[in-house]
Structure 1
Amino acid sequence: MTELKQMPGHLIRRYQQIAVAVFHRQVDPLGLDLTPVQFAALNTLRVHKDIDQATLAGLIAYDRTTITGVIDRLTAKGLVDRKISPTDRRARVVSLTAEGEAALDRVMPAVEEAQTVMLQGLDAREQQVFMELLTKATEATNDLSRAPLIPLATPEPTEGAE
C-alpha cells in the first residue's frame, strides 16, 4: 500500500494549501482583502484589456459559472468595471479600474515575495527544474480539468509578414 506522502495528488493538494496560506500571509497585511483567484483575475485584466468574462475564466483556468462571483466581488470593491459587450449583448466585458491598477501595484511585491517563500526549500537550479516539471505536468493534463486553461488564440501570420 502506497503512503499518502508518496502520492502526487496528496502532495499537490498539500502544496496548494501551503500556497494559499503563504499568499494570504503576505497579502492580508496590506488590507486589500484579495484571494489568489481575485489576484489572478486582476493580473490577467492588466495584460488583456477589456475582455469578456468567459475569456477571463479561460485565461485563469477558472469555471465560467463561478467567475461571475469573483467579478461581482471585485466590482463591489471598485477594482474592476463590468459592461455589456458592444458586440454581444449576452456577454459582459471586464476591465480594471484605476483603483484596480493601484491595488495591483500595491500587492505585486507581496505576491512576488509569496512565490519566493513557496519555493524556499529549493536551491535556484531546483526551483527552475521544479517550475519546468510543474508546467509540463500541468500542460499535459490541462484537458482533464473541470476548468482547463484556455489561452487566447494567436492570429496566424500573414503570408509575406516578417
Structure 2
Amino acid sequence: MPGHLIRRLNQISVALFAERMAEAGLTLTPVQFAALSAVEAHPGADQARVAGLIAYDRATLGKVIDRLEDRGLIARKTAPHDRRAKALEITQDGRDLLTQARPLVLGFQNDIIAGLTKAERETFVTLLDKVTMAGNDKSRAPLKPIKTGSDKL
C-alpha cells in the first residue's frame, strides 16, 4: 500500500542522511538541516514561519531551534515588527555547517530512488510533489511556502 511504501522510503532517506553525516563527522538531523536551510534562505523569519516553510509542527520545531541555538548555529533576536516575536538568523557556524552538509545531502538524493532511471526519477519526483501538495491541507503541519517558488529545500 502507498502509506507503507512511503514510510519505508522515508526510513531509507533518513538512514542515508544519518550515514552520510556520520561519515563526514557532522552532527545534523534532517529536520535540523531543513530548519537551518530555511533560516538561511529567509533571514529574520520567526519560528512559526520556519515551521510552515519546512512543514514541521511548531511546538516540536521549537525544541529543534533551541538545540540549534545552543550549538551556536542560529541566533534569536527581537523581531523589528513585533517585540514579542523572535527573528531567527543563521550564524557563521551555521553557514559553515550548511556549506559542508549541503553537497552531501544533494549527493545522496539519487541514492534514495536508486532503482529508477533518470527519466523515471524525474517523473517520480514530479508525481511525489503533486500528491504531497494535493494532500497538504490534511497534514498536521502543512507546508506554507512563500509564493516566489524559491522555497524548495
- Same structural fold, with TM-score higher than 0.5 when normalized by the shorter chain: yes
Q: How does 1:1-162 map to 2 (within 5 A)?
A: 7-153=1-147
C-alpha distance in 2, partners of 1:56/1:75? 14
CA RMSD of aligned residues (A): 1.2
8 Å CA contact retained: 1:26, 1:113: no
Aligned length: 148
Q: Deviations over 1:83-119 (max 9, x none)?
A: 1212212211111001111110011111112212112
Give the percent of matched residue pairs that are identical in Structure 1 and Structure 2.
51
1:153 Cα offset (Å): 4.9
Runs of at least 5 residues in structure 2 that lack an aligned partner in the other structure: 149-153
Moved segments of 4+, more than 2 Å: 29-32
Q: Which range is displaced more, 90-99 or 126-135?
A: 90-99
Gaps of 5+ in 1: 1-6, 155-162
For residues 72 and 29 of structure 1, the distance between their equivalents in structure 2, rounded to whole angstroms, comes to 25
Q: Report the TM-score when normalising by structure 2.
A: 0.92
Cα distance in structure 2, aligned partners of 1:153 and 1:106? 28
Structure with the greater alpha carbon radius of gyration: 1
